[in-house]
């Protein structure tokens, strides 16, 4: 056995880290959505468990989506990259059409299909990850030339413009960072990547300076207490939640800030309520789980590179960067480290489209792990999430058989 190759027992342990981190984050999310939304749901919908029921429903949908996604081979996802890109583009255009897109709090980001609300920006994240992973795999040797390098630049520019028209500045930042990282890993020259990063940063800075409300957010971020009852209200209330939590929190369900003080307590600022009720210790646990999730995805990148499957490697790297970046921005905003952005905390915040897309990304990660697993471990290339769900039970049963026990 190669010295760099982990033993079967250690490999089995490492394989469990990805589902463990996701299940832990999902469990924390269910508890915190119930706790942070109970007062608001009771007042608005006369049902204290309204948002919890909604969250569980979307979690069930997300589980089904993850199962379906994990059954589709990576080769098919690669071939579907262009149709997925066009589908995402059509959704982002449709949401801007008056009468089709739904406007909430000055932002037109949602589409209504019957009683279900879909946020096209979340769908676009999934589609763009698949597209860029496929494109960069096919064109990695040509990225040194400007003609090939400008294709991802143009695609990213079009999507960024459509997102800014909603407006959704937070998604633009996270998506742009993810694509730039994938382009660099895909083989682009460092000077080209540097120029692209400089152009993207300049464009985002110009958009912020030209938009009065974005500029006000930046000024408020620097001194939220200077206007704590107007533009700085949300951030100051979030900081108060962190202050009340101290080291070990005030106890589950005992948050005061969720009682109509902190807006979006169960969505964008759920981490502040978690820090208030669970304290700094609880916040560090959540951060640690995201670190484990990110490291597990990066391990898939290494496995794919060893097997020279560059599409799987880029896809896993893009997922790791996207989820880690969105978690960092969400927690940074809640703690006052970053200007306010409307991004949910993956697998934790209440949200329909975001939660379902996160589950779809989990399905892709499981598919990558199954196809990258050595063939002597059960034909991993044919395994999806459905086949891997009972894997722990099968292994335990196998141990009992070998030890002479009855199954």
How far apart (Å, rounded) are the C-alpha atoms in residues 387 and 395?
A: 13
Instruction: Encode pLDDT of 245-258 as tens digits.
Output: 889 989 888 889 89
pLDDT of residue 398: 47
Task: For residue 342, give Cα distances in angstroms to 36, 98, 177, 354, 399.
Answer: 17, 22, 16, 12, 48
pLDDT of residue 9: 64
pLDDT of residue 317: 94
Instruction: Cite the DSSP H helix spans in 72-189.
Output: 74-79, 81-94, 120-139, 146-164, 169-185
Residues 330, 349: contact at Cβ < 8 Å?
A: yes
How far apart (Å, rounded) are the C-alpha atoms in residues 224 and 230?
A: 9
| Residues written for the chain | 407
* Residue 75 CB neighbours (<10 A): 11
What percent of the chain has a predicted confidence (pLDDT) above 90?
37
Contact partners, residue 356, CB within 8 Å, separation at least 6: 58, 61, 62, 65, 122
Average pLDDT over residues 280-307: 93
pLDDT of residue 316: 94
Q: Indicate the helix (H) or strand (E) that contains 299.
A: helix 270-306
Q: What angle do CA 51, 57, 60 make, to 5 degrees?
A: 140
Burial of 209 (0-12, 13-18, 19+ CB in 10 A): exposed
Q: Indicate the helix (H) or strand (E) that contains 117.
A: strand 116-118
pLDDT greater than 50 at residue 161? yes
How far apart (Å, rounded) are the C-alpha atoms in residues 26 and 48?
A: 20
pLDDT of residue 8: 63
pLDDT of residue 210: 67
pLDDT of residue 5: 54
pLDDT greater than 60 at residue 392? no
pLDDT greater than 80 at residue 291? yes
- DSSP code of residue 407: -
Average pLDDT over residues 346-366: 91
How far apart (Å, rounded) are the C-alpha atoms in residues 356 and 123?
A: 9
Task: For residue 24, give Cα distances in angstroms to 18, 27, 251, 367.
Answer: 10, 5, 19, 20
pLDDT greater than 90 at residue 328? yes
pLDDT greater at residue 130 or residue 164:
130
Average pLDDT over residues 260-278: 89
pLDDT of residue 348: 92
pLDDT of residue 225: 78
Average pLDDT over residues 348-372: 90
pLDDT greater at residue 228 or residue 59:
59
pLDDT of residue 172: 85
pLDDT greater at residue 86 or residue 189:
86
pTM, full prediction: 0.84
pLDDT greater than 60 at residue 394? no
Confidence tier at 72 by pLDDT (50, 70, 90):
very high
- DSSP code of residue 307: T
- DSSP letters, 96-115, are TSTTTEEEETTEEEEEEETT
Cis ω before 204 (30° cut-off from 0): no
pLDDT greater at residue 212 or residue 137:
137
Average pLDDT, the chain: 81
């Amino acid at each position: 056995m190669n010295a760099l190759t982990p033993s079967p027992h250690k490999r089995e342990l490492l394989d469990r880290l990805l589902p463990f981190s996701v299940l832990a984050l999902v469990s924390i999310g269910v508890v915190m959505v119930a706790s942070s939304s109970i007062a608001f749901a009771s007042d608005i919908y006369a049902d204290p468990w309204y948002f919890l029921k909604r969250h569980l429903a979307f979690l069930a949908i997300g589980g089904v989506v993850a199962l379906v996604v994990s059954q589709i081979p990576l080769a098919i996802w690669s071939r579907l990259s262009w149709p997925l890109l066009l589908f995402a583009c059509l959704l982002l255009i449709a949401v801007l059409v008056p009468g089709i897109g739904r406007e909430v709090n000055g932002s037109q980001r949602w589409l209504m299909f019957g009683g279900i609300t879909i946020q096209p920006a979340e769908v676009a994240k999934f589609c763009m990850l698949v597209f860029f992973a496929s494109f960069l795999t096919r064109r990695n040797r040509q990225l040194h030339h400007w003609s090939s390098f400008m294709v991802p630049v143009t695609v990213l520019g079009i999507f960024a413009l459509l997102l800014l028209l909603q407006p959704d500045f937070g998604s633009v930042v996270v998506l742009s960072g993810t694509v730039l990282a994938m382009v660099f890993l895909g083989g682009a020259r460092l000077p080209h990547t540097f120029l692209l990063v400089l152009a993207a940063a300049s464009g985002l800075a110009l958009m912020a300076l030209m938009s009065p409300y974005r500029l006000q957010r930046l000024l408020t971020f620097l001194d939220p207490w200077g206007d704590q009852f107007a533009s700085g209200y949300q951030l100051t209330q979030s900081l108060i939640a962190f202050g009340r939590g101290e080291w070990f929190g005030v106890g589950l369900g005992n948050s005061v800030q969720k009682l109509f003080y902190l807006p979006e307590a169960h969505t964008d600022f759920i981490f502040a309520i978690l820090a208030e009720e669970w304290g700094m210790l609880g916040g560090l646990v959540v951060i640690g789980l995201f670190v484990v999730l990110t490291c597990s995805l990066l391990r898939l990148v290494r496995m794919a590179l060893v097997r020279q499957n560059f599409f799987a490697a880029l896809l896993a790297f893009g997922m790791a960067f996207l989820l880690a970046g969105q978690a960092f921005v969400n927690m940074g905003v809640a703690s006052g480290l970053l200007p306010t952005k409307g991004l949910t905390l993956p697998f934790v915040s209440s949200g329909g489209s975001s939660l379902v897309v996160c589950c779809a990304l989990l399905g892709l990660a499981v598919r990558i792990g199954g196809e990258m697993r050595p063939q002597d471990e059960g034909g991993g290339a044919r395994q999806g999430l459905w086949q891997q769900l009972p894997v722990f039970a099968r292994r335990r049963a196998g141990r009992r058989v070998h030890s002479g026990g009855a199954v």
